[in-house]
Amino acid sequence: MAAEPAAAFEETGGGDRRPRHIAIIMDGNGRWATERGWPRLVGHRRGAERVKQIVRACPDLGVDWLTVYAFSTENWKRSTEEVLGLMKIFRRYIQYEAESMSAEGVRMRFIGGRDRLDPKLQSLMSSIEMRTAKNSRLNLTVAINYGGRDELARAAQRLAGKVMRGEVSEAGEDDLEACLDTAGHPDPDLVIRTSGETRTSNFLPWQAAYAEYEFTPTLWPDFTPDHLKAILDRYGLRERRFGGV
C-alpha cells in the first residue's frame, strides 16, 4: 500500500523537507541531439548516461525512491530505426550497469507491459530485478512500455479476476492499488518533467494524484545533479495540504 501523504517527505535538520520519492519524465533527448546536428539516438545515449549520474546523486540528496519514464506505450509510433535503437540502448544499459547497481546498493525494478518487449530484454530485466532485490540504498523503478491508462486497464482486469474468484468481495481503492504495477511502492511526492513541456503524458496518473510538479526548460541530457538539488530545495519550501486547510 502507498505511504500516507502526510508522511511522504522526510524532515532533516533545520526544517529541510526532502521528498522520499521523485519521478522524472526524461524529455528532450532527441531535441538535444537535433539542435547539435546529430542523430536523435545520440541524444538518447547521452540521456542514458545522465540517468546514471542522477541515480548516483539521489541517495546523497535524501531521495529513497526514483522512478524514471524511459519509454511510453505511445513511443512505438516513432520511426522503426529510433525504436530499435532505444531498445538496444536499454539492453546495453541493463546489461552493463547490473554490476555497478548491485555494488552501489541500488534496487532496480520495471513497470509497464512486458509482453511487447524483446524476449532478451525481458530476460535481462528479470535478471537485474532478482540480482538487486536485497538492495535498499536507492529504489530505482524504470517505466518501459508504460502508459498510465494501460496500467489502470490491466489493474482493473486483475481486480475483476479476484472478484470473480471470490478473493475480493467489495472492491475499493486499496484493492485496485494492489493490482497496479507499482503495488508496494510509495506514491511519488514530486514529479519532474524536463525540456519545457508541461504535460504529464500519461505518467503515473493514479500514483501522482497528490504529487507536486516541477517543469523545467532544461533538456534531459543537460539535467545535472545540481539542477535536481535546486528543484528539491524549492520543493522544501512548498506547503502540502492534501485537501486540508
> Which of the residues are catalytic?
27, 75
Q: Is 167 annotated as a binding residue?
A: no
Q: Is 196 annotated as a binding residue?
A: no
Find the angle CA(123)-CA(124)-CA(129) to the nearest 5 degrees: 100
Of 180, 223, 243, whose CA–CA distance to 22 is shortest? 223
Contact 78, 152 (CB under 8 A): no
Q: Is 74 annotated as a binding residue?
A: yes
Q: Is 100 annotated as a binding residue?
A: no
Q: Is 199 annotated as a binding residue?
A: yes
What's phi and psi for 197, nearest 5 deg?
Answer: -75, 150
Q: Is 218 annotated as a binding residue?
A: no
Q: CB-based burial of residue 218 (10 Å sphere; 0-12 exposed, 13-18 middle, 19+ buried)? A: middle
> Grid coordinates in use for 168?
475480493
Q: Is 32 annotated as a binding residue?
A: yes
Which residues line the annotated binding site?
Answer: 27-32, 40, 44, 72-74, 76, 78, 193, 199-201, 212
Which residues line the annotated binding site for Mg(2+)?
Answer: 27, 212
Which residues line the annotated binding site for substrate?
Answer: 28-32, 40, 44, 72-74, 76, 78, 193, 199-201
